[in-house]
Amino acid sequence: MTTKEEIKKSEGKMQKALNALNSNFNTIRAGRANPAVLDRITVEYYGTPTPLNQMAAISVPDPRTLMIAPWDRSTLKSIEKAIQTSDLGINPNNDGTVIRLIFPPMTSERRNELAKEVHKMTEDGKIALRNIRRDAMDKIKAMKKNNEITEDDVKEAEKDIQKVTDKYVKEADAMSEKKIKEIQEI
């Protein structure tokens, strides 16, 4: 494997780390209804834990409400129970045909809490990016040790990997700022 291939491989891993960070951000509710907050909720369906979004149509009738219309009405109770036991902090309203989740306006305390959570997620994402960089550097140094590449190739590859890492760290920071701005919006 060449240094260019190693850098490409590392860049792909970094993109996946950013995608994971973005999906984590989507699970944080930012004052308005977003169907992505339900992505991690699974419902017991005939003895099998099934993702909620595979059991029901989820719509946003207004900015503060999510409406869950299950395809099988017999699952209403189990969906309601799964939402109550989740860490959403919202009580579902079951009218017999659909479940409504009404998101209350957030307090400034809650906004600050969520902003801290976003900062922590961002830092975890940056750590993942740095770990990918370290692994790539180790592989390149191993290539040098095995006399596959020269010292100049090592220096060049290290510079390239650092550029890629800096680019993705900057993207993570931009995503974080955008999410915090969204949370702080009233």
- Name the band, by pLDDT with cuts 50, 70 and 90, for residue 31: low
State if pTM tops 0.75.
no
Parallel, antiparallel, or unpaired: how do β-strands 65-70 and 99-102 relate? antiparallel
Domain ranges of the chain: 3-27+107-184, 35-102
**Which CATH number is 35-102 given?**
3.30.1360.40
CA 176/CA 22 separation, integer angstroms: 9
**Which CATH number is 3-27+107-184 given?**
1.10.132.20
Q: What pLDDT is recorded for position 147?
A: 86
- Biggest distance spanned by C-alpha atoms of the chain: 71
Q: Tens digits of per-residue pLDDT, 86-109?
A: 877 778 888 888 889 888 777 888
At 131, list the tokens: 């770990």
Long-range contacts of 22-29 (CB under 8 A, 24+ apart): 22/175, 24/121, 24/125, 25/118, 25/121, 25/175, 25/176, 25/179, 28/114, 28/117, 28/118, 28/179, 28/183, 29/88, 29/103
- Name the band, by pLDDT with cuts 50, 70 and 90, for residue 137: very high
CA 169/CA 174 separation, integer angstroms: 9
One-letter amino acid for residue 179 of the chain: K
- Name the band, by pLDDT with cuts 50, 70 and 90, for residue 162: very high
- Name the band, by pLDDT with cuts 50, 70 and 90, for residue 125: very high
Better pLDDT: 86 or 158: 158
